[in-house]
Amino acid sequence: MDLSQYAELFLAESREHVSACNELLLALERDPSARDPIGGIFRAMHTVKGMAATMGYARVAELAHAAESLLDKIRSSSAPVTSDVLQLLFRAVDALESSIGLAVAGREREADLDPVLRDLAVVGGGGGGSKEQKAKGEATAAKPEVDTSPREIEPARAPTHAGRLVRVTLRETAPLKGGRALIALRHAGAVGAVRAVSPPAETFESEDFDGHFTFRLETAASIADIVQAIERAGDVESVDVGADEPAAPRPESPAAVPGGEAGRARHLRVDLRRLDALMDLIGELVIARGRLNELAMARRDPGIDDIALTVARLSRDLQDQIIQARLTPVWQVFDRFPRLVRDSARQLGKQVQFRVEGKDIELDRTILDELGDPLVHMLRNAVDHGIEPPEERRRAGKKPEGEIVLAAVRERSSVIITISDDGRGIPRARVLERAKREGLVDPHTETLTDDQLLRIIARPGFTTSDSVTAVSGRGVGIDVAVTRLRALGGSVEVRSNAGRGTTFVLRLPVTLAIVRALIASVGRERYALPLTYVAETIELGSAPTTTVEGREAIVLRDRVVPLVHLRRLLAVEGGDAPPRRPIIVLEMGERRAGIVVDGMLGQQEIVVKGFDAPRGTLPLFSGATIMSDGVPALILDAGGLV
């Protein structure tokens, strides 16, 4: 039987258990006397061991069993958890995560597990527990027997008798229930012909499968032999074998077919590439929809109008469903950061408490995958540059343990992610001094605003560190994060106070593929601005104008809004600007700017395409789109304009 179909499921579930182990180990490190984390880690290791054994990943199962044995010894003897034991468990979890990935990729033999296995054996005293416990654990960790007999599930033929009705219940805690059920059927097939499986075997991989199934077994074997064969699959709670029954007249339909909701799977695991392909197709449909709407407006035909409205409604509903299917809770990326912060702090000799908020906020899977690396850079910078060593914090009247908070919240059609620390803050004087030395600011500049501060520290290669550490100091990190986030259609803000800490604010669209945008014209070109960042529109000249720091600005409801003339910025030549020009007021957090354009052409849903700007191009564009007439247009990056 081919279990490769469960490889991705095994990988996903194993990663969840590894993440749980890391979280529980961090809790145990904070309170080594706590018993609950030990039990939780033990259960996670036991589950991974069982899943790995089911899949035939012997090395993974061996490592999980060795860690489980050490945890069992700690749990049974109530021995203190020393820092050395904790570090060994952290190493075991790291090795387990690595070996799981290699096993799924078919490269399990490449996993170098001997050093950690040797240390686990030494500290665990050979596995701990009684001889009976050891024997039971070794049997569980071993690769389950799989009979390769061709009598697995025979094709339908007229049976000589109905056979025995067999009811099987898997343990509630059994991992990979679908795989276990298939193995149980294979073992049953070794003693007879398996028929009329209910629910059908193809539904076993559904998340609704609860581990209960029945089948008919045509066999001459005894009840004891049948039970023994099925129980060899492992994680079997009970096996009920009925009496041998005479053959009934052959029905026109299968003997056991679950009906209604009970036999239908309500959840499916879908390859992300399929969702990407669907999103590409719906994007093309949106473009075609726009073209159809234009044709309908030109024709003024009631029949075409009705079809256009129907197509618009159906395509919009389909678009919403696909976008919802792609949304993923941020915890799937955030859960690996507590361990990252812990290891970074340990390397630097710092004490850090890390807190995550808003784990259930959802983002498009593509954005979430791309978000991981920028957050890694920013968290490492927070640990290295932000949080002070314990002695320095004590001298400043702070707790020796610093705090870093990673939080996500939903705001209109965007998601706000903040990374804040209670550290020393960004040294503005040092940043200004180095910026002057490198010619990044005017020599007469005395102070830096938050916006100026971000523009300087986000320049490639810029760093305030005098030395390189294992964590940061090479002039990379913030620049990589800002570049990646802007490529995702997002923006970054910074707020820093000396002695009180720093907060980075990341604003991201919920989805990248299709957004509603305001279409503006400058000269002969059209540009799109995502409506997420559009606060309002006014006409140039309708609000008082002023000058602030040499820049033209308007006063809008007692608030100064600097102006950006897009025609000048893009150096548009030819044709005079119209006398009455609109201003698009953009708002990103506390920052505002008024974008002066030649005209506004209305709102439209656009399909965002990747945009590789030529070298030397102003950082004003976050992507491109195809308009309904087939002509491309650039999408303006609000973060580069505000």
Cis bond before residue 374 (omega within 30° of 0):
no
Report the C-alpha gap between 626 and 224 in whole angstroms.
Answer: 69
Dihedral sign for Cα 103, 105, 107, 112, please: negative
CB 125 within 8 A of CB 73: yes
616 near 606, Cβ under 8 Å?
no
CB-CB contact of 213 with 148 (8 Å): no
Enumerate the H helices of 31-130 as residue ranges. 36-55, 58-77, 83-104, 114-124
Mean pLDDT of 517-533: 89
Section 327-342 average pLDDT: 89
3-state secondary structure at position 255: coil
Q: How far apart are CA 367 and CA 484, in angstroms?
A: 10
Does residue 357 carry a pLDDT above 90? Answer: yes
| 3 state DSSP class of 247 | coil
Angle between helices 58-77 and 114-124 (to 10 degrees): 20
CA distances, 131 to each of 47, 72, 118, 135 (Å): 21, 13, 20, 6
Please compute, for residue 292, the number of CA atoms within 13 A of its CA located in the half-sphere on the CB side: 18
The length of the chain, given as a count of residues: 642
User: Using CA atoms, how far apart are residues 357 and 406, in angstroms rounded to an integer?
Assistant: 6
CB atoms near residue 531 (< 10 Å) = 15
Q: How far is CA 146 from CA 2, 78, 183, in A?
A: 11, 38, 7
Question: What is d(CA 64, CA 44) in angstroms, rounded to the nearest whole number?
Answer: 9
Place of tokens 């030649």: 598
Is the pLDDT at 102 greater than 50? The verdict is yes
Of all helices (H) and strands (E), which one includes residue 283?
A: helix 272-299
Residues 6+ apart with CB under 8 A from 13: 51, 175, 176
b/e map 378-387, b = 16+ CB within 10 Å: bbbbbbbbbb
Beta bridge partners of residue 329, listed in sequence order: 362
pLDDT above 70: residue 268: no
| Alpha carbon distance 457, 460 (integer Å) | 8
Quick one: pLDDT at residue 464? Answer: 64
Residues 116-159 pLDDT 10s: 999 998 887 644 443 344 434 443 343 333 333 333 444 434 44
Residue 470 binned pLDDT confidence (cut-offs 50, 70, 90): low
d(CA 512, CA 559): 32
Does residue 502 surpass a pLDDT of 90?
A: yes
Q: How many CB atoms lie within 10 A of CB 143?
A: 13
What are the structural domains, with CATH classification, of the chain? 4-141 (1.20.120.160), 161-245 (3.30.70.1110), 274-328 (1.10.287), 330-509 (3.30.565.10), 514-641 (2.40.50.180)
Q: 70, 74, 69, 89: which is closest to 33 by C-alpha?
A: 74
Q: What are phi and psi of 619, to 5 degrees?
A: -75, 65
> 30-78, pLDDT tens digit by residue?
888 888 899 899 988 988 888 888 788 889 999 999 999 999 888 887 6
What residues have CB less than 8 Å from 27, skipping those under 6 apart? 34, 37
Tell me if 448 sits within 8 A of 433, measured CB to CB: no
pLDDT above 70 for 614: no
Q: Residue 351: its pLDDT value, please?
A: 93
Find where tokens 């399990």 sit.
108
What is the rounded end-to-end Cα distance, in angstroms, of the chain?
59
Taking CB atoms within 8 Å and a gap of at least 24, the contacts of 540-545 are: 540/580, 540/581, 540/582, 540/583, 540/596, 541/580
pLDDT tens profile 367-415: 888 888 889 989 998 999 899 999 999 999 999 999 999 999 988 778 9
Predicted confidence band of residue 248 (pLDDT cuts 50, 70, 90) = low
Tell me which DSSP letter residue 483 carries: H
CA distances from 468 to 158, 218, 406, 432, 476 (A): 77, 72, 25, 21, 11
